[in-house]
Amino acid sequence: MAEAVAEHGPLCVGIDPHPGLLASWGLPQDAAGLERFALTCVEAFAGRVALVKPQAAFFEAHGSRGVAVLERVIADLRGSGTLVLVDAKRGDIGSTMAAYAAAYLTEGSPLAGDAVTVSPFLGFGSLDPAREAAAASGRGLFVLALTSNPEGASVQRAVGADGRSVAQSIVAAAARANAGAQPFGDVGLVVGATLHELGVDLSDLGGYVLAPGFGAQGATVADLRALFGPELRGVLPTSSRDVLKHGPETAKLRSAVDVVRRSLEM
């Protein structure tokens, strides 16, 4: 990750083929339209950004043909040298979590990118099979910590018996997992870029922070710096609709990426 960010900057671009975007691109609401959308994005983004984040749900919505498109997206991006974060938000316990880990984090699986998003709300320890699989294959996790949806606060900012919020406990557990890694460990966090206040201490995390909500969802560079600090070290701002609205022309998508990348350098 460090090499990719050094070469391309910290921007993560999402591939979110939801029905509204397919329609705006003039594409049918079926697996063929999904494939055209997704592969156009691959052509536009491969080799131009550090990280691309396909949202698995929009592919799964089309059944086995949609999952096959996701597999091709992952393979084509990784073949270009571009890192892939599969946004699947998986979370379970025991053998089921191990099966998710095998699907998204094991070498040879067609669904395995370079990292996957996971949910810790069955307890951070429930992620152990995923952590072990990631460590064994040289991949990473991005663990939900503080999301920007209004409903999330009732759980994530709830305070436990130790006086810490649930979110701070997740940060602490991720920091322990990353202890000793340089420059960053393989356990990152997901923290919404549109939050009005952070409310957790990330100083000892030792991992990357994925910050969705940059651009069309309202977060600006100034917001990112106010939330995470002026240097934004280790923060990966994520933009999806702000870039994707410029399709379906590949050249326009690439120009949109360049604009967003330059804004992060200011």
Contact between 148 and 123 under an 8 Å Cβ cutoff? The reply is no
Paired with 53 in beta bridges are 14
Average pLDDT, integer, range 95-100: 98
- Tell me the average pLDDT of the chain: 95
Average pLDDT, integer, range 251-265: 93
Q: Where are the domains of the chain?
A: 2-265
For the entire predicted model, the pTM comes to 0.96
C-alpha–C-alpha distance, residues 67 and 134, integer Å:
22
Q: How would residue 173 be classed by pLDDT, with cut points 50, 70 and 90?
A: very high
pLDDT value at position 214?
Answer: 85
Indicate which residues carry an active-site annotation: 89
For 198-248, the pLDDT digits (tens) are 999 999 999 999 999 887 667 888 889 999 987 788 999 999 999 999 999
C-alpha–C-alpha distance, residues 71 and 39, integer Å:
11
In this model, does residue 59 exceed pLDDT 80? yes
In this predicted model, which residue has the larger pLDDT, 223 or 128?
128
The two structure tokens encoding residue 256: 């949109």
Give me the count of residues in the chain: 266
pLDDT value at position 88?
Answer: 98
Between 3.40.50.300, 3.10.105.10, 3.50.50.60, 3.20.20.70, what CATH number should domain 2-265 receive?
Answer: 3.20.20.70
pLDDT value at position 216?
Answer: 65
pLDDT value at position 221?
Answer: 87
For 1-14, the pLDDT digits (tens) are 999 999 999 999 99
Q: What is the CA radius of gyration of the chain?
A: 18
Q: How far is CA 1 from CA 49, 114, 130, 192, in A?
A: 11, 9, 19, 20
